[in-house]
């Protein structure tokens, strides 16, 4: 992978990670367009580059992250409750990911299942459009209980199908358990902080030799920085957009992209 390719793929990762359109699907599509073949190193790199998006959450939510840290130390009750909710929501994906990682990687990391996931997810967003708009109301993040967090966590497991989008299912889960769209988006960001960190560390360590032999430190750093900068801008855009307009735009985008990729792949004859 060349430096410019790493910058481009990092940009794709950062822009798409927290939008409900699937960063994994977009990275697979971008790698295919660049002629980068699938393999242990390429698959691991596409997960490890999420580290830039992790730092973006820390940069945009320093007060909330400080509250979570204080809660971990027993110095902030609300931070402790929120941290426990994040941990409960994380556990289903952690367990299923460890048990089924080989099957997921073998069967689903292809453009055809990704395109179908884009299409189906877009239809779901459009059908639930009214519930996903700001005027629909909902509770603040501080009211989220452990049962609601578990429900969001179970839905997050659907994102193991590349193209589904972790952000989509966790935001949807938050709204379904009664959170406002803005609160659901924030919880999705915070849950992503733990989920992406765990995935990046696990995959990076497991594929450390393949990564070291395939990519230089400069290539890794370029992807990380590009992902960080673009994730910051993307998160700010999403927060501002959903406060005014909801998520319908992303539903139409997913439907159009899914149909376009399926046509390109010859799925319609």
pLDDT single digits (tens) 211-263 = 788 778 888 889 899 999 999 999 999 888 888 887 888 999 999 999 999 98
- What mean pLDDT do residues 93-112 have? 74
Is pLDDT above 80 for 47? no
pLDDT at 105: 64
Q: In terms of residues, how long is the chain? A: 269
More confident residue, 210 or 74: 74
Is pLDDT above 60 for 66? yes
* Angle in degrees, CA 196, 102, 221, rounded to 5: 40
Which DSSP letter does residue 50 get? T
Is pLDDT above 80 for 5? yes
Q: Give this prediction's pTM.
A: 0.85
Contact 18, 189 (CB under 8 A): yes
Is pLDDT above 90 for 70? yes
pLDDT at 231: 92
More confident residue, 105 or 10: 10
pLDDT at 109: 62
pLDDT at 136: 66
d(CA 152, CA 184): 10
Half-sphere exposure of 159 (CA within 13 A, CB side): 30
Is pLDDT above 70 for 201? yes
Q: How sure is the predictor about 269, in pLDDT bands with cuts at 50, 70 and 90?
A: low
- What mean pLDDT do residues 49-59 have? 85
d(CA 133, CA 123): 16
- What mean pLDDT do residues 136-158 have? 90
pLDDT at 108: 57
- What mean pLDDT do residues 165-192 have? 90
pLDDT at 147: 95
Is pLDDT above 70 for 186? yes
pLDDT at 242: 82
pLDDT at 103: 67
d(CA 115, CA 132): 23
Is pLDDT above 90 for 131? no
Is pLDDT above 60 for 168? yes
Average pLDDT, the chain: 86
Q: How far is CA 84 from CA 91, 148, 194, 217, 261, in A?
A: 11, 12, 12, 36, 40
Is pLDDT above 70 for 107? no
């Amino acid at each position: 992978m060349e430096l410019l390719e790493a910058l481009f793929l990092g940009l794709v990762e950062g822009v798409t990670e927290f939008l409900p359109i699937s960063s994994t699907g977009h990275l697979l599509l971008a790698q295919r367009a660049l002629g980068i073949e699938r393999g242990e190193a390429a698959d691991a790199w596409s997960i490890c580059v999420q580290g830039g998006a992790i730092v973006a959450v820390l940069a945009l939510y320093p007060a909330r992250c400080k509250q979570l840290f204080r809660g971990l130390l027993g110095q902030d009750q609300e931070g402790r409750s929120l941290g426990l909710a994040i941990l409960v929501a994380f556990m289903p994906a952690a367990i299923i990911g460890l048990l089924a990682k080989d099957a997921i990687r073998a069967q689903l990391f292809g453009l055809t299942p990704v395109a179908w996931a884009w299409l189906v997810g877009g239809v779901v967003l459009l059908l639930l459009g009214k519930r996903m708009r700001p005027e629909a109301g909902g509770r603040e993040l501080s009211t989220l209980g452990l049962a609601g967090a578990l429900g969001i966590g179970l839905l997050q497991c659907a994102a193991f199908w590349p193209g589904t989008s972790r952000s989509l299912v966790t935001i949807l889960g938050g709204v379904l358990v009664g959170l406002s769209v803005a609160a659901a988006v924030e919880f999705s960001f915070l849950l992503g902080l733990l989920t992406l960190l765990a995935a990046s560390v696990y995959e990076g360590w497991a594929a450390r030799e393949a990564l070291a032999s395939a990519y230089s430190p400069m290539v890794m750093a370029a992807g990380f920085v590009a992902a960080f900068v673009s994730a910051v801008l993307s998160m700010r855009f999403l927060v501002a957009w959903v406060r005014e307009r909801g998520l319908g735009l992303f539903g139409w985008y997913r439907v159009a992209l899914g149909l376009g990729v399926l046509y390109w792949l010859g799925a319609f004859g």
